[in-house]
Homo-oligomer: A and B are copies of this chain.
Amino acid sequence: MKKFQIGILGLGTVGTGVIEILREQSENFKKRFGVSFQTKKVLVKNINKKRSVDLQGIELTEKIEDIIGDPDIDIVIELIGGKTIAKKAIIASLEAKKNVISANKDLIADDGRQLADLAEKNNVGFYYEAAVAGAIPILRALENSLDSDRIESINGIINGTSNFILSKMRQQKMSYRQALSLAQELGFAEADPTNDVDGIDAAYKLQILADFAFGKQIEQKDIQMSGIRTVTQQDLNDVSELGYEIKLLANASLIDGRLQFSVGPTLVPKDHPLASVQNENNAIFVSAAYAGGLMFYGPGAGKLPTANSVIADLLELTSKAPKNPRFNSQFKSDTALAGPKNRIASRYIVFKVADRPGAMHKLSGFFLMSNINFRNIRQYDPIDGSTRVVIITYPASDAQLNPVKTTIRQAKGVEIVHEFKLLERK
């Protein structure tokens, strides 16, 4: 029997779930894996607060040093979140030759590679499956099953809040505001929903996915980002008639040897598996040269789903790879990022156009200048002197499209309401 002592930083939702699972599965893990875990200490903000979870035999502390300085603790599970204290604690733990498991996507998005290198230098493990898409074992699948392949693209619904809002808008004809309120009532969205609805949370996860899929550590500024605040019932209806659903997709694509990254509302063909992912669920669709199109679907958040990913890391660390703990395969590529010429996609663009003769002729002329071809065009009945025009283009690069947009911004009687990308049918 191998015995391990654990220190947990943070006793919020996920920390509580971790303690619950460790209690429930204690006998099972001894029997099946020959490992025994003792949760020795847990860092909390207030040791006097009442807790719902059984903490018998566990020492609560408000001092982080009590845990990272405790020589008996083999494994630190970091669940406090944030970038500053968490980073210091992880570095100190790794340097003290403690294994670390974390669910901290914000931190790992930017510093994951640096921390993984530090773990390797100290011959300990640094695992963080729970940081991306909750219960879905997507990082381990990329690491252990798709490392043999050449990945071409990743398209993920990796923000449950946004997907919940878009689902309710579609299923129950709610407005964005109504759906957001419902999400807030049900605890799927925070009082300030910025991180979720503007794509920031999805972008953090995309940074981590990019590292595992393409061996490339990127920064948030490398990602073209837009959120779901401007999506309307009319958009959902327009695209539904044309055979699409709108999803907030995080995309990473390798096109012509260059990598491009975006997060934004995206038209997904209804027969694509991502189109039917509903409510707060997450799904990641991976296109690879050999495996083809694979999708990994499941709960992207929640106490036990996320805690299960932490526990799976714990078992790998202690039972399967105790001598060579390695999560991020140190896959490093120097693939260039795409510039405007290489960032190619079909686009759904909505215009507000003055209701007068020649308006469409003028608008279509702007696109002709850049040789951009249209796949679908719809003009709707005018309201109050202006008309809604929806155009879906064939694939066009940012280099083609940007001058068109600049021209339109300077033109009279036409404005761009918004622009979403299309996920191409495969």
Please name the residue on chain B nearest to A303 by beta carbon. Answer: B290
Question: Are B299 and A292 touching (Cβ within 8 A)?
Answer: yes
CA A288 – CA B21 in complex, angstroms?
Answer: 13
Count of chain copies: 2
A307 interface residue (CB < 8 Å to B): yes
CA A311 – CA B145 in complex, angstroms?
Answer: 9
Question: Are A304 and B276 touching (Cβ within 8 A)?
Answer: no
Please name the residue on chain B nearest to A297 by beta carbon. Answer: B295
Question: Are A291 and B295 touching (Cβ within 8 A)?
Answer: no
A296 interface residue (CB < 8 Å to B): yes
Please name the residue on chain B nearest to A145 by beta carbon. Answer: B137
CA A273 – CA B297 in complex, angstroms?
Answer: 9
Which of the candidate stretches A66-74, A111-119, A146-154, A196-204 sits at the interface with the other chain? A146-154
CA A33 – CA B307 in complex, angstroms?
Answer: 30
* Count, chain A residues at interface, CB 8 A: 55
A289 interface residue (CB < 8 Å to B): yes
Which residues of A292-316 have CB atoms within 8 Å of chain B's CB atoms?
292-299, 302, 304-305, 307-309, 311-312, 314-316
A32 interface residue (CB < 8 Å to B): yes
A424 interface residue (CB < 8 Å to B): no
Please name all residues of chain B whose beta carbon is closer than 8 Å to the beta carbon of A211 when the two chains form the complex: none
Question: Are B305 and A291 touching (Cβ within 8 A)?
Answer: yes
Q: Given A295-B298, A297-B273, A316-B144 in contact, is the A304-B290 Cβ separation under 8 Å?
A: yes
Contact pattern, A 93-119, Cβ under 8 Å of B = 1, otherwise 0: 000000000000000000000000000
Please name all residues of chain B whose beta carbon is closer than 8 Å to the beta carbon of A323 when the two chains form the complex: 323
A141 interface residue (CB < 8 Å to B): yes
CA A324 – CA B324 in complex, angstroms?
Answer: 11
Q: Which of B32, B277, B305, B331 contacts A290 (CB 8 A)?
A: B305
Write 13 A-B pairs (CB below 8 A) sorted by A numbering.
A21-B290, A25-B148, A32-B331, A140-B145, A145-B312, A148-B311, A289-B304, A290-B311, A291-B298, A292-B302, A295-B296, A320-B321, A323-B323
Which residues does A use to contact B, with CB under 8 Å?
Answer: 17, 21, 25, 32-33, 129, 135-137, 140-141, 144-150, 271, 273, 275-278, 283, 288-299, 302, 304-305, 307-309, 311-312, 314-316, 320-321, 323-324, 326, 329, 331
